[in-house]
A and B are shown apart, each in its own frame.
Chain A
């Protein structure tokens, strides 16, 4: 453990020649969690797309200890598609490269074990669209777990999730970290970022990177969110919240 899981140096990316992300430099060790904070359009999803190899960086370099697994937002999935929670978890086995063959017993077992781990064994045969929001998120997490990846990229995994599912999901995150996997979690929630090992603030470029205590200061957050940031002083300490609308594909 404690080898480098992700190393990014001066990374930049663009869509159709238009720069959308510049000067991103950070490093995460095995077992570390990184909260990727930023406004809509700040570059969180773009960073993930580059790390997944979907988008070619225009500058810089990156190293990952293995192919990352990705957990998409449930809003990006088709709820009317006739797949069960088990089918979704089983999709994770496609990352092994045997996409043209039917799933074998070990792959089915891995999908069942992943569902068990996220507490969905009892609803394995239920259609994805009929699951609750939290259960859907957990099914997508199961799909990521099946890939047995050293690095997991999680796009707002707790967005719109009920408290019970959130507790279960964060519990799985802790287990993954203890197994030596690095987690990069895109989030809008400034306060939850304090529980991560590291915080990466993006606003089309890297604003700050480091431990939460060093990074989550007023200057860095204002540079990250601008007018979307509200700082609350409720007597028990300063808290920051954002007022941005929830959007996708930044």
Chain B
């Protein structure tokens, strides 16, 4: 069994640890709103939607980050546009109501990405890295992107948290208060989509949910206030990220799967405990 201190001592693990800490900040701050505004499926789909773009960018020499963000922004804008016209329809409700379209996009994006990777660009090795992430090869640009996204998520939550809360609680009432509900929701979708892109190098497109949804879902079972949810989700995301990274190092596997399995286990145990306590 390797020493846990290796996480701080070994340079490549130190970078991976820093990346997971930055993602945990985003996961705590933004994850709370993803869970509260029922955007879990959207965040999962946003990561997957970028997959074919990342494969094409990787093969053609274009910056994967720019390509991923461009696709993610297009996806967020599309969901927002689909919601226009409904009385008081918030983006989260729109994302949920368009579940079939989201699922279709998800399947099409994954299939297109795999075809591009294996048959067109013959870069099948890229697929594993994009889908499940890697500890190796994280560069400064990845860390900078994660830091910027964490800062944007924190700033966005500070400035728009009251609006997101009012819209999530009562969309009709929020519109009547004169809040910029549509723009605030669009910004939330954009933040979630860009955050998904930032998480792909570390945990992969398929496991974005592990860092952004599972910690907040676990925290939701532990606290009854929005402030408590953010703090608790941040703590859970940090703990799961660090332990998951150690497990990945120990088992010699990509970081995404251990973090995801750990997050799922924590949620399942908490659900069982809270259900038993309520009975």
B31 CB to nearest A CB, Å = 14
B141 within 8 A of A: no
B36 CB to nearest A CB, Å = 7
Q: Are B226 and A82 in contact (CB under 8 A)?
A: yes
Question: Within 8 Å CB of A70, what residues of B?
Answer: 172-173, 176-177
Question: Within 8 Å CB of A77, what residues of B?
Answer: 169-170, 173
A91 within 8 A of B: yes
Question: Within 8 Å CB of A128, what residues of B?
Answer: 169
Which residues from 177 to 236 on chain B have a C-beta closer than 8 Å to any C-beta of chain A? 177-180, 223-226, 229
Q: Are B229 and A82 in contact (CB under 8 A)?
A: yes
Which residues from 78 to 115 on chain A have a C-beta closer than 8 Å to any C-beta of chain B? 78, 81-84, 87-88, 91-92, 94-95, 97, 99-100, 102-103
The 8 Å CB contact of B87, one of A49, A84, A91, A147, is: A49
A6 within 8 A of B: no
Q: Are B165 and A76 in contact (CB under 8 A)?
A: no
User: What is the CA–CA distance of A25 and B36 in the complex, to the nearest angstrom?
Assistant: 42
A164 CB to nearest B CB, Å = 24
Question: Within 8 Å CB of B179, what residues of A?
Answer: 94, 99
User: What is the CA–CA distance of A64 and B162 in the complex, to the nearest angstrom?
Assistant: 27
Question: Within 8 Å CB of B229, what residues of A?
Answer: 82
Q: Are B163 and A99 in contact (CB under 8 A)?
A: yes
Q: Are A54 and B168 in contact (CB under 8 A)?
A: no
Q: Are A143 and B162 in contact (CB under 8 A)?
A: no
- Indicate with 1 or 0, residue by residue over A198-213, a CB within 8 angstroms of chain B CB atoms: 0000000000000000
B261 within 8 A of A: no
A52 within 8 A of B: yes
Q: Which residue of B lies closest to A90 (CB)?
A: B162
Q: Which residue of B lies closest to A128 (CB)?
A: B169
- Indicate with 1 or 0, residue by residue over B145-178, a CB within 8 angstroms of chain A CB atoms: 0000000000000011011011011111111111
Q: Are B175 and A100 in contact (CB under 8 A)?
A: no
A120 CB to nearest B CB, Å = 16
B2 within 8 A of A: no
The 8 Å CB contact of A69, one of B171, B175, B176, is: B176
Q: Are B165 and A78 in contact (CB under 8 A)?
A: no
Q: Are B170 and A92 in contact (CB under 8 A)?
A: no
B85 within 8 A of A: yes
Q: Are B87 and A54 in contact (CB under 8 A)?
A: yes
A245 within 8 A of B: no
Q: Are A81 and B169 in contact (CB under 8 A)?
A: yes
Give the one of A67, A81, A95, A97 with max B CB within 10 A.
Answer: A81
Q: Which residue of B lies closest to A48 (CB)?
A: B176
Q: Are B175 and A99 in contact (CB under 8 A)?
A: no
The 8 Å CB contact of B159, one of A49, A95, A100, is: A100
A249 within 8 A of B: yes
Q: Are A82 and B87 in contact (CB under 8 A)?
A: no
A72 within 8 A of B: yes
User: What is the CA–CA distance of A128 and B169 in the complex, to the nearest angstrom?
Assistant: 10
Q: Which residue of B lies closest to A53 (CB)?
A: B178
The 8 Å CB contact of B180, one of A49, A83, A99, A103, is: A99
Q: Are B168 and A94 in contact (CB under 8 A)?
A: no
Q: Are A72 and B168 in contact (CB under 8 A)?
A: no
The 8 Å CB contact of A97, one of B87, B170, B178, is: B178
The 8 Å CB contact of A82, one of B85, B180, B225, is: B225
A16 within 8 A of B: yes
Q: Are B170 and A94 in contact (CB under 8 A)?
A: no
Give the one of A67, A83, A102, A249 with max B CB within 10 A.
Answer: A83
Q: Are B162 and A76 in contact (CB under 8 A)?
A: no
A1 CB to nearest B CB, Å = 25
Question: Within 8 Å CB of B85, what residues of A?
Answer: 16
Question: Within 8 Å CB of A95, what residues of B?
Answer: 177-178
Q: Are A78 and B169 in contact (CB under 8 A)?
A: yes
B171 CB to nearest A CB, Å = 8
A177 within 8 A of B: no
A152 CB to nearest B CB, Å = 11
User: What is the CA–CA distance of A49 and B87 in the complex, to the nearest angstrom?
Assistant: 9
A101 CB to nearest B CB, Å = 8
A94 CB to nearest B CB, Å = 5
Q: Are B162 and A82 in contact (CB under 8 A)?
A: no
User: What is the CA–CA distance of A238 and B55 in the complex, to the nearest angstrom?
Assistant: 75
Given contacts A99-B162, A128-B169, 17 further A-B contacts (CB under 8 A): A16-B85, A76-B173, A81-B165, A81-B168, A82-B223, A82-B224, A83-B165, A83-B226, A91-B173, A92-B177, A94-B177, A94-B178, A95-B177, A99-B180, A100-B160, A102-B162, A140-B170
Binding site for B on A (CB under 8 A): 16, 49, 52, 54-55, 67-70, 72, 76-78, 81-84, 87-88, 91-92, 94-95, 97, 99-100, 102-103, 127-128, 140, 143, 147, 153, 249
A-B pairs with lowest CB-CB distance, top 6: A70-B176, A100-B159, A81-B169, A77-B170, A72-B173, A95-B177
